[in-house]
Amino acid sequence: LNRRLAEFGTTIFAEMSALAVRTGSINLGQGFPDTDGPEEVREAAVRALRDGRGNQYPPGPGVPELRSAVAAHQLRRYGLSYDPDTEVLVTAGATEAIAASLLALLEPGDEVIALEPYYDSYAACIAMAGGKRVPVTLRPDGGSFRLDLDELRDAVTDRTRLLLINTPHNPTGTVLTREELTAIARLAVERDLLVVTDEVYEHLVFDGAEHLPLAAFPGMRERTVTISSSGKTFSFTGWKVGWVTASPGLVAAVRSAKQFLTYVSSGPFQYAVAEALALPESYFTAFREDLRAKRDLLAAGLAEAGFTVFRPAGTYFVTTDIRPLGESDGVAFCRSLPERAGVVAIPNAVFYDHREEGAPFVRFAFCKRTSVLEEAVRRLKTL
C-alpha cells in the first residue's frame, strides 16, 4: 500500500459491520436501512433488467432518463435549473462522485477545507488526489454541533482550492442554517474557491429544519459541485446510483476522472432511480415522518440509558456523548459494546484529525425497524 493510503487502513464501517455479524449484535453502526425502498421502484428495476434496458454499457454521463429526472428534481425542489445534457453526471454512488470530483479538481498540494468530523472517504480521496486536508471542527453548542465561521475563515490560505461541505452532516446530524450557508457562500466568492457539497441526506430533515442547497446561494451556481445519491433517499444503498450537478465546465472535469474510475455504472438501476425521483411528494413526506419517529425512539432511549444525546435535525444518525456513563474513549467503548450489550455503534473519533476532540462521541444509526431499535434500547439500558 502506498504512502498516500497507508494511514487509512480498513474503513470503520467494514470493521464494525463484521464485528456485528461475528458477535450477533444489533448493528446500529454502518448506515443502511434494514427494510428495502419502495416496491414500485424495485419493480422498475426488474422491468429494466427484463427489457434489456441498461444491461450493456449505458452512456458515460448516465442514461438520459435519469439525467432528466435529476434536473427536474433540482428544479422542482430548489428552483435550480440544470441542463441534463451538460450539467448532470451519473456516478457509482455519491462515493464515486466525491472521488471523481476531488481527483478532477485538485492539483497536488492544494488545500481542501472539510468540516470535522468528516465522512471517512473525504480524507482518503483528498489524499489520493495529492491534496492536503484542513479540518475545521464542528463543536457542541446548545445541543447540536455547530460551525465556527471565524475558524472557517481563518482556515483559508493562498493554497486553499476548495471547500468540501456536507449538509445534512454525517455523523453529527447538523443541518447547516441559512446564515451559516450564506457565510460559507460569501467566503467562497470572496476567496474564489470551488465548493464540493455532499447533500446525500437532503431529504432526511426533521422538525421543520430545511435543507438548503449551497448552489442556490448568490455566486454559487457556477462554483459548486453538488453531490447526491439514491442510497439514502430511497433506501437502496446497494444500488450505488449517485449524481453530480454543476456547471458544464465542472461536470466535464468530473466526468474526465469518472470515465477512468468506472466508466459507467448500474445500467438498469439508473432507469429505476429515474422513476424514484418522480415519486409523488407523499413518498418523501412519509419517509421523513417514519424516520422522525425512529429518531425520537432512539434518542429518548439513549437518553434514558444515560447518554447525552445530540438530537439530529437531519440524517439517520444520532451522535451521543458517553461521558455521563463514566466513559471517555469512544473507540474502546465501541469495541467493547458488542460484548457488553450486543449493540454495534461507530466511534466518531475516526472522523477527526484532532482525535481528542472526537474521543467521547459515539454515533448510532436509526434507519432500522422499530422492533430492532426497541431491543437495542433495552440492551443499552443494561450498561
| E strand or H helix at 243 | strand 242-245
- How would you list the strands of the sheet with 361-365, edge to edge? 308-310, 317-321, 361-365, 346-347
Q: Quick one: what does residue 93 bind among ligand PMP, ligand GLN, none, with the CB cut-off 5 to 8 Å set by partner type?
A: ligand PMP
Q: Is 229 in the site for ligand GLN (CB under 6 A)?
A: no
235 binds ligand PMP (CB under 6 A): no
Say if residue 361 is exposed, middle or buried (CB neighbours under 10 Å; 0-12, 13-18, 19+).
buried
User: Residues near 142 by Cβ (< 8 Å), separated by ≥ 6?
Assistant: none
Closest CB 8 distance from ligand GLN, rounded Å:
12
Q: Of these partners, ligand PMP, ligand GLN, none, which one is at the site of residue 101 (CB under 5 to 8 Å by kind)?
A: none
93 binds ligand PMP (CB under 6 A): yes
3-state secondary structure of 213: coil
Indicate which of ligand PMP, ligand GLN, none lies near residue 58 (CB less than 5 to 8 Å, by partner kind).
Answer: none
| 352: its cell numbers | 477527526
Task: Candidates 19, 48, 71, 94: give the one binding ligand PMP (CB under 6 A).
Answer: 94
**Per CB under 6 A, does 31 bind ligand GLN?**
yes
247 lies in the binding site for ligand GLN (CB under 6 A)? no
The reply to whether 346 sits near ligand PMP by the rule CB under 6 A is: no
**Distance of alpha carbon 330 from alpha carbon 349, whole angstroms:** 7
**Cα–Cα separations (whole angstroms), residue 102 to 17, 113, 191, 197, 377:** 27, 12, 19, 11, 39
Distance from C-alpha of 130 to C-alpha of 284, rounded to nearest angstrom: 39
Does residue 229 bind ligand PMP (CB under 6 A)? Answer: yes
Instruction: Select from 281, 116, 317 the least CA-distant residue to 200.
Output: 317
With CB cut-offs between 5 and 8 Å by kind, which of ligand PMP, ligand GLN, none does residue 342 bind? none
Helix residue ranges, H only, 1-137: 3-6, 12-23, 39-50, 64-78, 93-105, 120-128
For residue 194, list its beta bridge partners.
162
Contact flag: residue 105 with ligand PMP (CB under 6 A): no
Q: How far is the CB of 273 from ligand GLN (least distance, A)?
A: 17
Given 166, 226, 245, 320, the residue binding ligand PMP (CB under 6 A): 166
CA dist list (Å): 246 to 13, 88, 124: 29, 7, 23
- Residue 347: what residue type? P
The entry of ligand PMP, ligand GLN, none near residue 316 (CB within 5 to 8 angstroms by kind) is none
Q: Does 200 bind ligand PMP (CB under 6 A)?
A: yes
Q: Does 11 bind ligand PMP (CB under 6 A)?
A: no
Q: Binding-site residue total for ligand GLN (CB under 6 A)?
A: 5
- Among 19, 26, 28, 31, indicate the residue that binds ligand PMP (CB under 6 A): 31
SS3 content of the chain, % helix, strand, coil (to 5): 45, 15, 35
Positions 160 through 179 that interact with ligand GLN (CB under 6 A): 170
Which one of the spans 89-97, 182-190, 298-306, 320-328 is the region binding ligand PMP (CB under 6 A)? 89-97
Helix (H) or strand (E) holding 228: strand 224-229
Q: Is 68 in the site for ligand PMP (CB under 6 A)?
A: no
Q: Which residues bind ligand GLN (CB under 6 A)?
A: 11, 13, 30-31, 170
Q: Which residues bind ligand PMP (CB under 6 A)?
A: 31, 93-95, 119, 166, 170, 198, 200, 229, 231, 237, 240, 242
